[in-house]
Amino acid sequence: MKQEFSENSFAPDGRWRITAAEFVESGHMGCPGCGASLSLRHALKVLGKDTVVVMPACCWAIIAGGQPTTALDVPLLHTPFAVAAAAAGGVRQAFLAQGREEVTVLAWAGDGGTFDIGLQSISGAAERGEEIIYVCYDNEAYMNTGIQQSSATPPGAWTTTTPSGKEFKYAKKDILGIVRAHNPGYLASATIAYPEDFYTKFEKAKKARGFRFLHVLAACPSGWKIDSQDSLKVTRMAVDSGVFPLVEMDAGGNLTPTVRPKKRIPVADYLKAQGRFRKLSDDEIALWQESVGKE
């Protein structure tokens, strides 16, 4: 029997019962299996209706639909690519000036808009302690414009601008380390492939003060060259192999794991599940396994 919950709550077993309320309507423009679509849908279930979304250029700017239509049931402000964090800080300041402390301002940006072009505005907003939640949904390339490499693209991954795979000398940028250096109010990594951890972290981000940052891994079936039905399975493998650890910043400023996979799988299993890593050599896979082990 389908159970419906109008509010988020905890069952006696302590597990999440997520609301049946929807703030992302059906009929949006997301591809089948789009991890980013699912992630915002569930993030808004936790954050609730008093949320304003601020979004730079990215797939999600299209997924929401072109004016005058929108798939979101909460207000949405589109911004230029580089300024989501700055604009979100401004929106929050405007609500504070009106005495409307209760409104959550959510900046929702891709990896290109975060790791690359929006990095300066994130640094500024974090330094000023802007009262916003900034989420980077990371599909590991500029997907909306046709799968170009970003500084979040992992080594070895095929993109249209790195057709033989991103070289191993270019590592994925340590975005959590960069934001941590700004002493944020809350900092974590998450993925909807581990929903309870995801919900808990968005709830904590909502309650925390200051600049809050979540790094969310979100599969892109077209860019990762996987079947859309395997989107969550492959994302879960990123966690289970140690490639994308689920962590949270503790009171001492250290990143500590929140989910310890029951069974650690080889990095090779995660990589071989995706067409974008097809050209990786065994030596390169071994290098990757070694670096995951060190971390």
Ligand X SMILES: Cc1ncc(C[n+]2csc(CCOP(=O)(O)OP(=O)(O)O)c2C)c(N)n1
Q: Which residues bind ligand X (CB under 6 A)?
A: 36, 57-60, 81, 110-113, 139, 142-145, 150
Our finding on whether 111 is near Mg ion (CB under 5 A) is: yes
**DSSP labels for 134-153?**
EEEEE-SSBTTTT-B--TTS
Closest approach of ligand X to the CB of residue 240, in Å: 24
Closest approach of ligand X to the CB of residue 145, in Å: 4
Closest approach of ligand X to the CB of residue 137, in Å: 7
Q: Helices 195-207 & 35-47, crossing angle to 10 degrees?
A: 50
Q: Which does 57 bind (CB under 5 to 8 A by kind): Mg ion, ligand X, none?
A: ligand X
- Taking the least distance from each CB to Mg ion, the nearer of 216 and 249 is 216
User: In Å, what is the CA distance from 240 to each residue of 19, 151, 215?
Assistant: 27, 23, 17
- Taking the least distance from each CB to ligand X, the nearer of 111 and 240 is 111
- Taking the least distance from each CB to Mg ion, the nearer of 51 and 139 is 139
Asked whether 74 and 53 are in contact (CB, 8 A), the reply is: yes
- Taking the least distance from each CB to ligand X, the nearer of 36 and 243 is 36
Closest approach of Mg ion to the CB of residue 60, in Å: 10
Q: Which residue is nearest to ligand X (CB)?
A: 110
Quick one: which of 35, 110, 156, 165 contacts Mg ion (CB under 5 A)?
110
Instruction: Write out the two tokens for 259.
Output: 């989910």
Beginning with the edge strand found earlier in the chain, give each strand of the sheet holding 76-78 in spatial order: 76-78, 51-55, 104-110, 133-138, 212-217, 186-190, 247-249, 255-257
Q: Which does 54 bind (CB under 5 to 8 A by kind): Mg ion, ligand X, none?
A: none
- Taking the least distance from each CB to ligand X, the nearer of 113 and 165 is 113
What is the Cα–Cα distance from 126 to 217, expressed in whole angstroms? 21
User: In Å, what is the CA distance from 76 to each residue of 69, 80, 108, 177, 207?
Assistant: 11, 13, 10, 29, 21
Closest approach of ligand X to the CB of residue 29, in Å: 12
Q: Which does 240 bind (CB under 5 to 8 A by kind): Mg ion, ligand X, none?
A: none
Per-residue x/- marks for Mg ion, 131-150, CB under 5 A?
Answer: --------x---x-------
Q: Which does 156 bind (CB under 5 to 8 A by kind): Mg ion, ligand X, none?
A: none
Amino acid sitting at position 35: G
What is the Cα–Cα distance from 140 to 172, expressed in whole angstroms? 9
Our finding on whether 245 is near Mg ion (CB under 5 A) is: no
What is the Cα–Cα distance from 54 to 56, expressed in whole angstroms? 7
Asked whether 185 and 130 are in contact (CB, 8 A), the reply is: no
Our finding on whether 130 is near Mg ion (CB under 5 A) is: no
Q: Which residue is nearest to Mg ion (CB)?
A: 110
Closest approach of Mg ion to the CB of residue 117, in Å: 11
What is the Cα–Cα distance from 60 to 74, expressed in whole angstroms? 14
What is the Cα–Cα distance from 184 to 182, expressed in whole angstroms? 6
Closest C-alpha to 126, from 243, 210, 224, 195: 210
Closest approach of Mg ion to the CB of residue 138, in Å: 7
- Taking the least distance from each CB to ligand X, the nearer of 57 and 246 is 57
Closest approach of ligand X to the CB of residue 4, in Å: 31
Residues that bind Mg ion (CB under 5 A): 110-111, 139, 143
